[in-house]
Structure 1
Amino acid sequence: MAQPRWLGLSGAPNARDVGGMPGAAGRSVRTGRVFRSEALGRLTDDDLARLADTGLRAVVDLRGDSEVAQLGADRLPPGVTADQLSILDGSMDLYRLMAELIGERDAEQQRDRLGDGGAERFMARLYRWFVTDAGARARFATLLTRLADGARLPLLYHCTAGKDRTGWATAILLEILGVDRATIVADYLASNEGARAATAAILAGLRKGHLMAEPELLVPLLEVREDYLAAAYDQVARDFGDVDGFLARGLGLTTATRAALVDALLV
């Protein structure tokens, strides 16, 4: 099974190349064409030079305005075009939920909302929302359409942590390219490796600052888990029958767009 192709960015350790995985008909996903990442606001000058060396042309930011305001705009190499394609809903805003619970410093409220599987249930609802919400589907479709345009490549897309919106977008893309489900899941779960140090730092900071009596309650929100991705696939089956139905009717992707993705990204 293909190993993650990390970009080695100190300010975005979860950044990696989507290429290198086996795809349809004995072909492979091209490397150096599509990248996925967390937010890029903490890139160092060395990181910027490394990104520039990839030949990057475009970045698509899947965050909402509130996330950009809180975490800062991306730092990008000169000449890279940047577009915001927000996939966010107030009721499903993971980062607002965490900010509210941490800000309240109410241990009982934190335990009531996140304990006994509450955090896991929220994440499953989020992934189902990716499938059920027409606006979210439209934005995922727009991202895929942009990836089908070879003139925009190499392209990098990201959300805040590069694990949920970015993870589902990548799963859809890899489905189109004929990557098998086990490889898709393994690539999705690799975000836990990329985010390990950041997750540990967040939990340590919350404990040291006495912001949460049980910081570990946040772990299900900070990680990716196979069950979360399975919830999205289950919703696809419920609403559209299968992935092909989701691509055609849920995302409205034409046969030509799917063929363009294959032509651009398989070798």
Structure 2
Amino acid sequence: MSRVHRIPAALLLTGATLLAGSGLATAAPALPPAVASLLDTASSAAGSTTVAPDAPRLASVDNFRDVAGTGTGYATPTGNVNKGVFFRSNALSPSDADLATLGNLGISTVYDLRSDEEIAAKADRLPEGATWVHMPIMSGNTSTGSVMDSIHTPDDAREMLRQANRSFVTGDFERGSFARLLTSFAETEGAQVFHCTAGKDRTGWTSYLLLSIAGVDQQTIMDDYLLTNEYSKDSIAKTVAYIQGTQGEAAAAIYAPLMGVEASYLQAGIDQLTADYGTVGNYLTTGLGLSAATVAAVKAKLVS
């Protein structure tokens, strides 16, 4: 077991993004038809004649995508989610070519949800004209080293991510951060990007809140959450292989659950929200302290 604990915390923080810029990363493959069809099932909004283009696939930022999905956008009871408004991502460290592509999306603001430690390991590169806002989500903004030392089995790893999602509901610091983030979403003009390191946990909960505000059904939200495993599958596999090659099969098996997502991770947060607040609306207004006007402003950006 001693070999397992020598894995650097930075490796586990970066997860599937470890090899970006290392010369080993490859272009993200096109989505399989089954996954692509999942994103294209929303019906057109009443009276809509134009739909924004799909978010580009970025080889160097493989989990960059539109919160609204693809095609006509995810369906809601009052229309489809607007594309080109909110983007989610893993660490925003694009190649020159991908940076140029990002420059065509009208991005006004990039919210970095990571800790100081993560940012020091891989700083953002912003498209021209975009403002960077540091919005750390996790309590204390501290090193993860002690947390990693507590993981001894794959189930420990899974439970760590379940507990992280619960903390988005129970943690005072975390709730305060999400309140500031959603308030900024409501008050900021232009396309907005939010991201953490792998674009799956802090970013996943943020996307869950946005899609819930929009009125997207819960199964579609969960399916969207799980798309990280498809978008980042090559880099996840390479990271697991790297751990196996440098630290052994036991370490790779223990830490593999941290690299992707499982439904139980997000569901743990949803179950905690239901237990503590009953509904997403109550969580937003009572738990985060948001005004009804702020929530309505976010919804108006999402579904118009």
TM-score tier after normalising by the smaller chain length = 0.7 to 0.9
Change (3 A) 1:175 1:149: same
Of 53, 58, 69, 1:9 maps to 58
The Cα shift of 1:214 comes to 3.6
Determine if the alignment matches structure 1 residue 242 to structure 2 residue 279. Answer: yes
**8 Å CA contact 2:139, 2:173 repeated in 1:** no
Instruction: Provide the identity percentage.
Output: 38
Instruction: Trace 1:159-170 onto structure 2 (pairs within 5 A).
Output: 159-170=196-207
After superposing the two structures, state which structure 1 stretch, 121-130 or 165-174, moved more. Answer: 121-130
| Displaced runs of 4 or more, over 4 A | 3-6, 90-93
Partner AA of 1:256 in structure 2: A
With the length of structure 2 as denominator, give the TM-score of the two structures.
0.77
* Residue of structure 2 aligned with 1:147, choices 161, 164, 185: 185
For 2:48, the equivalent position in structure 1 comes to: none
* 1:180-259 matches, cutoff 5 A: 180-210=217-247, 213-259=250-296
Question: In 1, Cα distance between the equivalents of 2:175 and 2:163?
Answer: 15
Q: For 2:137, which of 60, 76, 87 is the aligned residue?
A: 87
Match of 1:40 in 2: 92
- Alignment correspondent of 1:75: 125
Aligned length: 251
**TM-aligned CA distance change 1:134 to 1:10, over 3 Å:** same
The alpha carbon displacement at 1:91 in A equals: 9.9
Scaled by the length of structure 1, the TM-score of the pair is 0.87
Query: 1:119 matched to which residue of 2?
Result: 157
Structure 1 distance, partners of 2:287, 2:114, is 21
User: 1:105-130: CA deviations, max 9, x gaps?
Assistant: xxxxxxx8332621111111111111
SS in 1 for 2:120: helix
Counterpart in 2 of 1:18? 67
Partner Cα distance (2:251, 2:286) in 1? 43
CA contact (8 A) 2:139 2:171 kept: no
2:35 counterpart residue number: none
Whether contact under 8 Å (1:6, 1:14) holds in the other structure is no
Deviation at 1:176, TM superposition (A): 0.7
Shift, 1:23, TM fit = 2.0
Tell me, in whole angstroms, the C-alpha distance in 2 between the residues paired with 1:23 and 1:208. 46
**Is the Cα–Cα contact under 8 Å of residues 64 and 86 in structure 1 kept in the other structure?**
yes
Gaps of 5+ in 1: 102-111
1:61-72 matches, within 5 Å, as 61-70=112-121, 72=122
Tell me if structure 2 keeps the 8 A contact 1:150–1:264: no
The 2-side partners of 1:197 and 1:115 are apart by 23
Structure 1 CA distance for aligned equivalents of residues 223 and 40 of structure 2: 9
Query: Residues 69 and 57 of structure 1: is their aligned pair in 2 closer, same or farther, counting only changes over 3 Å?
Result: same
Deviation at 1:81, TM superposition (A): 0.5
| Alignment root-mean-square deviation, CA | 2.2
When structure 1 is superposed on structure 2, of 238-247 and 228-237 the one drifting more is: 238-247
Matches of 1:116 and 1:47 in 2, distance apart? 35
Change (3 A) 1:120 1:204: same
Matches of 2:240 and 2:173 in 1, distance apart?
A: 33
Report the Cα offset of residue 212 of structure 1: 5.8
The 1:217–1:266 alpha-carbon spacing in structure 2 relative to 1, beyond 3 Å, is same
**What is the rounded CA distance, in whole Å, between the counterparts of 2:288 and 2:141 in structure 1?**
22
Cα deviation for residue 209 of structure 1 reads 2.0
1:6 CA drift (Å): 4.9
Unaligned runs of 5+ in 2: 1-37, 42-53
Deviation at 1:216, TM superposition (A): 2.0
Partner of 1:107: none
Aligned with 1:53 (options 71, 85, 104): 104
Residue 97 of structure 1 and its aligned partner are, at CA, apart by: 5.9
Considering fraction of residues, name the structure with more helix. 1
Q: Deviations over 1:122-159 (max 9, x none)?
A: 111111111100110111121111111252x2000000
Partners of 2:152 and 2:230 lie apart in 1 by 23
